[in-house]
Amino acid sequence: MAEKLSTEPYKGVRDFYPEDMAVQSHIFDTWRRTAESFGFERYDASVLEPSELYKSKGAENEEMVNEQTYTFLDRGDREVTLRPEMTPSVARLIAGRHKELAFPVRWYSIPNLFRYERTQRGRVREHWQLNCDIFGSDDIAADVEIIALAYQTLINFGARPEMFTIKVNDRREMKDFYHSLGVIDEDSITKVTRLNDRFHKIDRSEYVEELRQIVPGAAEAILAFLEESKQTDNAVTRALAEIGITNVEIDRSLARGFDYYTGTIFEIFDNDPKNNRSMLGGGRYDDLTSLFGDERIGGVGFGMGDVTMRDFLETHELLPQKKAGALVVVIPTEEALNLEGEKAATRLRAAGVSVTVDISTKKLGKKLAAADHAGSGYVLVVGEDEVARGEYVLKNLADGTEVSGALTKIADAISS
Amino acid sequence: MAEKLSTEPYKGVRDFYPEDMAVQSHIFDTWRRTAESFGFERYDASVLEPSELYKSKGAENEEMVNEQTYTFLDRGDREVTLRPEMTPSVARLIAGRHKELAFPVRWYSIPNLFRYERTQRGRVREHWQLNCDIFGSDDIAADVEIIALAYQTLINFGARPEMFTIKVNDRREMKDFYHSLGVIDEDSITKVTRLNDRFHKIDRSEYVEELRQIVPGAAEAILAFLEESKQTDNAVTRALAEIGITNVEIDRSLARGFDYYTGTIFEIFDNDPKNNRSMLGGGRYDDLTSLFGDERIGGVGFGMGDVTMRDFLETHELLPQKKAGALVVVIPTEEALNLEGEKAATRLRAAGVSVTVDISTKKLGKKLAAADHAGSGYVLVVGEDEVARGEYVLKNLADGTEVSGALTKIADAISS
């Protein structure tokens, strides 16, 4: 036999042992519960997509596909990519049924996404993301609702509003402002937008210098606009305030990287100084689907990643301490009684509760300690006497109370 | 711009539009609920694994990796494979923490798996699978429990026992029988086992002919053993009967393809003549982990696929007819009231129910019809009068009853 195999996962991806998976399930369950409470319907697609889906928007995308994705030729010489983001896939699905769908539609998904990049803290090569979109409505109510959904997701994790800030901007308002300064060519506006994306990451002087190179006559006015923006509001922030969401500010420097946004854009920042970064972002786009046909379908949406979500929950101590143990542990006193234990467990499960049987070779005392350590609620010992009499004792590990009798009686006691 | 992009998914994989995803979620939720009711803990790993994980068992596996998997070189020249099965991944995880884990452990996962093969009915290139294993116990109670879990999964989907048959065999019992006939070399036993795997797929005469070529002196005895097996039982089938599972038969022809099984093996067959095939299979293995180190850890487990599961549920009409609509649809009477609609929805969600707002441009009557069509339970109309008075009417779509008043009163009425 060859040398021993490594137990490490592939570089840049994560294993989820049960204690990690419990956190992951908590995150996915909260995402799902919140999205569905807003009437969003779940969709999915395969992680494998034809590579042309990502290349279609021109040379820049082709470079991204070639350098930052997992792309390979399959055995039929088709070029295939592990999806790096969900938007192209959902655009494909929406375009594929745009005639049958009753717009507006609210869709969400929790896909895994792959990016080939240098691994560093918080930068893994595979991560999961909650993607929520409202397609086919250009009403401001959709913008407000999508931000309210992002907000409510954090609240449903137990976050308080003072733990995070929703920053809002609007591409149309920015465009109107640039036009008012005489900056009207698209190229300059795109350059300023991309520079603004770095506003909080570079020195003020560096920002000003680069800005002057792009728009010599308008730099001071733009800088003033960005620096005074927190005192202002717009229709979206006022509507959010009306539904009780007030940890919101206009940030005119907010740019978002993607060129396809056309209206409202927003990001949510963790307020904790240890973790002060963007946790999620999204915005409104006019055209999701024209690559697939003649019709343009717009919408508004956001994406929220599992790694940043977990960092936020850990930073603010919002992860539940609940252990994963079954509610009832059935404990046979010796190996010869394991099958009797399975029989008892089957009866108790009929009450709709989770039941495990300790079929380890441990002694009774160690089994009782293990049940307590696992956070289980009850134990039921199965010994020779119990089997002979057909009467058992269910012990509550929290308060020590007991219920005795036939298994049907005990099942009733658990389920009531 | 280039020609229009196709809206088709990559060859051999599936898109899940909301109505398909609802079925998928129903299957995954039922799998999860059942596994957790038996105290199984969920784990996961990435779909990307180092290719050597699958090649390590020798030339046959290397051929499988080269011909039937998605395998490619990453940008760092590492050979990587999209997992074709979960067992090597879970073996890797178990081996990686075998010193810390308190055996026996009960683990489950719902991974997607990729196989590169010709696409045909029921044969997709990506499918999902429920994988359940009990590791680190050689007690028969584990064999019985894992079969009971597979059984209970189908029952929890609404299946009745007469809809399916659990076929059981035992590799040790088969070996003892071959030995009793003087067939003792491992090579002959392996050949007979593989031939038995085709017992129900080929003619009796073809089977006998091939069997005679392998074991000339023992063919008749083996054939008789296979054909009479349904009248027999063993310790596993007797224990299953004791916990109320009686749609079970011994089938001495049951072989299971995998060489790593060493004891109990089982499959569950759909009894419907239209769909008469194996839905899931599993068994006991002695050694999962020695490829990773010196210690052997055995167990018993099974895998159950989403495609065969869905076929079974459709054949027996066990898919729920429930529609995915939100419980309450808030209906603004005109676009200018959409934000008022969002406000009302926010209040009602505080009652813990799902609420959507119809921000389409449809007329009121069409909106009411759409809410009914979506299977929603209630509608709440938001018109100018309602907003001015702060009083709304919640209408129950099932029985036509109404509750009127402030939103707090209505929220109370919904949640009670």
Helices B140-156 and B18-37 pack at an angle, to 10 degrees, of 150
Whether the per-residue pLDDT at A11 is higher than 70: the answer is yes
Residue of B nearest to A360 (CA): B104
Q: How far is B258 from chain A (nearest CA, A)?
A: 19
Q: What mean pLDDT is predicted for residues A382-403?
A: 96
Task: Give the list of residues 6+ apart from residue B207 with CB closer than 8 angstroms, or none.
Answer: B195, B198, B199, B223
Q: Which residues in chain A are contacts of B47 at CB distance < 8 A?
A: 47, 112
Alpha-helix runs per DSSP H in A78-233: 87-96, 140-156, 171-180, 186-196, 204-214, 219-228
Task: Give the list of residues 6+ apart from residue A75 with CB closer than 8 angstroms, or none.
Answer: B116
Residue of A nearest to B9 (CA): A49
Burial (Cβ within 10 Å: 0-12, 13-18, ≥19) of residue A106: buried
Whether A56 sits inside 8 A of B2 (CB atoms) is yes
C-alpha pair distances (Å), A147 with each of A239, B10, B371: 11, 33, 24
Q: How far is B64 from chain A (nearest CA, A)?
A: 13
Q: Give tens-digit pLDDT for A106-152.
A: 999 999 999 987 656 556 899 999 999 999 999 999 999 999 999 99
List, as ranges, residues 370-399 from B with C-beta within 8 Å of A.
Answer: 370
- Spatial separation of the C-alpha atoms in residues A94 and A134, rounded to whole Å: 11
Number of A–B residue contacts, CB under 8 Å: 262
Give residue B119's pLDDT. 58
- Spatial separation of the C-alpha atoms in residues B208 and A104, rounded to whole Å: 64
Give residue A324's pLDDT. 67
Give residue B329's pLDDT. 97
Instruction: Map residue A41 onto helix, strand or coil.
Output: strand
Q: Which among A337, A341, A317, A321 has a CA at the least distance from the CA of A329?
A: A341
Mark B372-405 as b/e (b = at least 16 C-beta within 10 Å).
eebebbbbbbbbeebbeeeebebbebeeeeebee
Burial (Cβ within 10 Å: 0-12, 13-18, ≥19) of residue B203: exposed
Beta strands in B254-319 (DSSP E): 261-270, 278-285, 299-305
B175 interfacial to chain A (CB closer than 8 Å): no
Give residue A1's pLDDT. 45
B341 interfacial to chain A (CB closer than 8 Å): yes
Give residue B134's pLDDT. 98
Q: Give tens-digit pLDDT for B223-232.
A: 999 988 777 8
Q: How far is B62 from chain A (nearest CA, A)?
A: 13
Q: How far is A218 from chain B (nearest CA, A)?
A: 33
Candidates B37, B43, B354; nearest CB to A18: B43
Q: How far is B223 from chain A (nearest CA, A)?
A: 33
Burial (Cβ within 10 Å: 0-12, 13-18, ≥19) of residue B161: middle
User: pTM of the entire structure?
Assistant: 0.95
List, as ranges, residues 68-127 from B with C-beta within 8 Å of A.
Answer: 70, 72-76, 78, 80, 82, 92-93, 95-97, 102-104, 106-107, 112, 114, 116, 126
Place of tokens 């005489």: A182
Whether B10 sits inside 8 A of A52 (CB atoms) is no
**Distance, C-alpha A56 to centroid of its chain:** 27
Per-residue pLDDT band at B276 (split at 50, 70, 90): confident
- Spatial separation of the C-alpha atoms in residues A231 and A161, rounded to whole Å: 19
Q: Can you tell me the ipTM of this complex? A: 0.94
Q: Which among B324, B340, B329, B325 has a CA at the least distance from the CA of B414?
A: B329
Instruction: Map residue A328 onto helix, strand or coil.
Output: strand
- Spatial separation of the C-alpha atoms in residues B267 and B272, rounded to whole Å: 15
- Spatial separation of the C-alpha atoms in residues B128 and B307, rounded to whole Å: 8
Give residue A119's pLDDT. 58
A355 interfacial to chain B (CB closer than 8 Å): yes
Instruction: Map residue B114 onto helix, strand or coil.
Output: strand
- Spatial separation of the C-alpha atoms in residues A391 and A404, rounded to whole Å: 7
Give residue B267's pLDDT. 96
- Contact between B268 and B302 under an 8 Å Cβ cutoff? The reply is no
Q: Which residues in chain A are contacts of B50 at CB distance < 8 A?
A: 6, 10
Residue of A nearest to B54 (CA): A5
Q: Which residues in chain A are contacts of B352 at CB distance < 8 A?
A: 37
Q: Give tens-digit pLDDT for A32-76.
A: 999 999 999 999 999 999 999 998 765 566 777 778 899 999 988
DSSP bridge pairs for A167: A249, A267
Whether the per-residue pLDDT at B121 is higher than 60: the answer is no
List, as ranges, residues 208-237 from A with C-beta within 8 Å of B.
Answer: none
